[in-house]
Structure 1
Amino acid sequence: MPGRVTRPERDRAGAQPDRPAADATADAWMDTLPQAVLLTEGGLVTRVNAAATRLWGVTQERAAGRPVLEVVRRHTLETLMERGGELELEVGGRTLRCTATHHGVNASLIVEDVTEHRRREAELREATAVLSHEFRTPVAALRGVLEALEYDMPADLAQNFVRQGLQETERLARLVEDLAVGFRPTRARTLPISETFARAERLLTPELTARGSTLRFGQDHLVRADPDKLLQVLLNLIENALKYGPAGQPVEVRTTERGTWVEVAVLDHGAPLHDTESLFRAHTRGQAATGQGSGMGLYIVRSIVHGWGGQAWAERQGDVNAFCFTLPGVSGLG
């Protein structure tokens, strides 16, 4: 009958708008992906999604129909698309994982920013190194105490070993708490630096007594810092001064106001230092270092100080070594 549409004709008529709608849905879906996606056919670009536009600065309209190299502007990626596979690139301080696949004349390139993932991996490696560095000394001391206590000895000597073991156990307990500092959010507040000095002195009393040394602290200042991280820096530097300075000599912690910053210097009477900058690199130890150690202590100090925007360094000042760092100050006490 005139004007009547048969079922096949109606199906075909209804199918016409479905394809563009499906393409639009696919385009919208691709544009939501965080990865940059580039599709080609016969070596020419057919599609780039929104993330790819942001990465390479080329819109879909400009990219369509162009050779791959004109869009990605890197022969490395052009070659990757030709052969397929996966590689990582360092571009502008970012780490990009690039994956290319082939399906006949069609090919695809997916680029994912894995910078944050690699940063977390680096933090995990650093945390492992910190654990190795911080726990090695007290664990070795405890092993020595327990081995000694296996043998018969006078009661007073055995009691002395027990005291040493208890001191090392207390140190391990403090290290467990300190190591958690790096994994907690920064809790900066305004505080008098003398508050942290007092905490450090209490914790270091056994070592000071054993070395016959004393601590002298400089002028008080109001500072802005995470108290736990500031304590961790001070403990590390003062313990180094006790370890490498001559027994019986005082360790001085000097403070100086430098504009809006407060400079803290831990001074010891040890042998003159050489190549002080290298001391702050990971897995580096000074020439006078003895015994076991991973060389991570000063690297940890600098990492923490850089975290609050300060600087950390070492220098020779007259007849003493000075290990210095800066932290934000708050003018005036009270």
Structure 2
Amino acid sequence: MTPGLPSPRSTWVRFTVVAAVVLAFALAATVVLAWQLARLQGRAAVDERLDREREVFAVRAAALLVGSTGPADLERRFQGYLATQPGSALHMTVIRVDGGPVLTTATGPAPVVALRDGDRLPAGVPGRLVTRATPEGDVRVLATPVTVDGRRVAVLEVDGWLGGVDHDATTLAGRVALAATFAGVLGVVVLALALRRATRPLRALHAAAERAGIGDLAVRVPDPGGRPDEVGDLARAFNGMLERISAEVEARTALFAAVSHELRTPVAVARGHLELLETGIAADPEASLRLVGAELVRLSRLLDDLLLLAAADGDSFLVPTDVTVDRVVEEVRLRLVGLDLGDVAVEAVDTTGRTDGAGAGATTVRVDLDRVLQAVLNLVVNARRHTPAGTRVEVRVGVVGGVLDVSVADDGPGIPEALRTRVFEPFARGGRGSTGLGLAVVRAVVEAHGGHVDLTTGATGTTIRLTFGATAAP
């Protein structure tokens, strides 16, 4: 393609070509229609003139023919009439006297006069309006019989020239065609400029998509000016998509970096102590073995949490069953016994807020009990890890709004303000001894149930409320 010329594949070029073709057909149809209408109107005007001349003769015929004494007298009277009714540029009048001469007006359309003078125009049909095709063009002939006492004495013919009508119609059509051509060219130019301007965001979108396809996610389509149309909406949607992709890529890169760091640390520690044990220079072999075991446990827990987060979006992540609130409370208590976390209160509540558990524990909900317990225990362990010894940790289980509602509250110092907005993100850690995945697992489990997590924290303590989306069973 020649540099500087638009590609024939460009949307605005193709639209312009299609519009030009459609416009050309429309203008051509307009010219033909204008020619036909002008021709029909002109012919109608000729017919009207012929009929008017016939009516004028009919009005004067009574007086004209009274007392005629013979053909010679009729000829004289007809000549007198024709002398008072000259022809025009549209018509001429002819009277054919039976057994006598053919009389005509002194003037009329030049082609018709020439035809009459050369006797090349066939006679009309009495009582009818007919069109005669001649070398000079079409002629309309209106023939009417003239009678005296019921006897025909002559035939009145009024001739109308149609060639002039057709010429005028053709002239008009030519002028319309010239004006339509100018308007069409101007319209196509304006349309091409408008389409080129309107599709500018599409070209920018194509360029941005190509750059994004090779990894440049920082590219954005220029703002189309906030116009409320499909092109502007597409540009803004594309920019939004790139922003989301960029955010996801950044989050994924950060996650991979954090995972690499978190996996590398326990592996490095365990390998270092194993090398000390292998070379026999470990100062305390038993302590080294215990440390290696602890790091392997930490590594295993980290991998389990990562696998859980990866599987949270899968269809097989949850295995819901019908369980009662009492069952949830009992299972939480049983698992807390083996964790040695101190005194943790676990109780069932009803929607009125009573703490005696009356009527609340028998309510049945449909959830994945193992996943629910995993989320609750993660919250309890996290609360104990980040609050001073002797502080309160309380778990309340109930049904609110037809769904399982679990809250874990403590009266510790609260979550630091800098950590509150990202506390449920992977590797957002508030202290030592944590993988940074516990609260991320909690959120994944709750969202897999179609629920949500609410956080309330401050200087007087922290409450995390889990609302699972499973509907309570009847």
The two structures have a TM-score, normalised by structure 2, of: 0.39
Whether the aligned pair in 2 keeps the contact of 1:315 and 1:323 (CA below 8 Å) is yes
Q: Higher mean Cα deviation, 309-318 or 289-298?
A: 289-298
The 2-side partners of 1:270 and 1:248 are apart by 10
Structure 1 residues 326, 271: closer, same or farther in 2, change over 3 A?
same
Larger relative contact order, structure 1 or 2 (CA cutoff 8 Å, min sep 6): 1
The amino acid that maps onto 2:455 is A
Whether the aligned pair in 1 keeps the contact of 2:456 and 2:462 (CA below 8 Å) is yes
* Residue correspondence of structure 1 range 86-105 to structure 2 within 5 A: 86-87=207-208
Structure 1 residues 280, 165: closer, same or farther in 2, change over 3 A?
closer
Whether the aligned pair in 2 keeps the contact of 1:216 and 1:253 (CA below 8 Å) is yes
Whether the aligned pair in 1 keeps the contact of 2:395 and 2:407 (CA below 8 Å) is yes
* Residue correspondence of structure 1 range 267-282 to structure 2 within 5 A: 267-273=409-415, 275=417, 278-280=421-423, 282=425
Whether the aligned pair in 2 keeps the contact of 1:241 and 1:251 (CA below 8 Å) is yes
User: Of the candidates 317, 320, 334, which is equivalent to residue 189 of structure 1?
Assistant: 320
* Residue correspondence of structure 1 range 7-26 to structure 2 within 5 A: none
Pairwise CA distance, 1:142: 4.9
The amino acid that maps onto 2:318 is R
Whether the aligned pair in 2 keeps the contact of 1:285 and 1:295 (CA below 8 Å) is yes
Whether the aligned pair in 2 keeps the contact of 1:256 and 1:263 (CA below 8 Å) is yes
SS of equivalent to 1:323 = strand
The amino acid that maps onto 2:452 is Q
- 1:41 aligned to 2:13? yes
The total of aligned residue pairs comes to: 254
Q: Residue 140 of structure 1 corresponds to which residue in structure 2?
A: 265
The 1-side partners of 2:370 and 2:251 are apart by 19
User: Of the candidates 316, 323, 334, which is equivalent to residue 464 of structure 2?
Assistant: 323
Q: Once the two structures are aligned, what percentage of the paired residues are identical?
A: 21
* Residue correspondence of structure 1 range 109-120 to structure 2 within 5 A: none
Structure 1 residues 323, 128: closer, same or farther in 2, change over 3 A?
farther
* Residue correspondence of structure 1 range 131-210 to structure 2 within 5 A: 140-148=265-273, 150=276, 151-185=281-315, 186-187=317-318, 189-192=320-323, 194=327, 198=331, 208-209=339-340
Q: Which runs of 5+ in 2 are unaligned?
A: 1-8, 20-187, 210-219, 222-233, 349-360
The 2-side partners of 1:68 and 1:307 are apart by 53
Whether the aligned pair in 1 keeps the contact of 2:305 and 2:438 (CA below 8 Å) is no
Pairwise CA distance, 1:271: 0.6
SS of equivalent to 1:180 = helix
* Residue correspondence of structure 1 range 192-271 to structure 2 within 5 A: 192=323, 194=327, 198=331, 208-209=339-340, 212-213=341-342, 215-219=344-348, 222-226=364-368, 230=372, 233-234=375-376, 236-247=378-389, 251-271=393-413
Instruction: Provide the aligned C-alpha RMSD in A.
Output: 5.3
SS of equivalent to 2:380 = helix
Q: Which runs of 5+ in 1 are unaligned?
A: 1-36, 48-64, 89-96, 99-110
Q: Per-residue CA shift, 1:167-209, capped at 9, x if unaligned?
A: 324424523542332242253523437569848975x888x44
Q: Residue 6 of structure 1 corresponds to which residue in structure 2?
A: none
The amino acid that maps onto 1:87 is A
Structure 1 residues 251, 163: closer, same or farther in 2, change over 3 A?
farther
SS of equivalent to 2:412 = coil
Q: Per-residue CA shift, 1:203-232, capped at 9, x if unaligned?
A: x888x44xx545543336643445565456
- 1:78 aligned to 2:219? no
Whether the aligned pair in 2 keeps the contact of 1:222 and 1:330 (CA below 8 Å) is no
Structure 1 residues 154, 78: closer, same or farther in 2, change over 3 A?
closer
The 2-side partners of 1:139 and 1:199 are apart by 33
Whether the aligned pair in 1 keeps the contact of 2:449 and 2:468 (CA below 8 Å) is yes
The amino acid that maps onto 2:399 is E
The 1-side partners of 2:346 and 2:15 are apart by 71
The amino acid that maps onto 2:464 is F
Pairwise CA distance, 1:42: 7.8
Q: Residue 65 of structure 2 corresponds to which residue in structure 1?
A: none
SS of equivalent to 1:240 = helix
The two structures have a TM-score, normalised by structure 1, of: 0.52
- The structure with the largest alpha-carbon Rg is 2
The 1-side partners of 2:251 and 2:300 are apart by 24
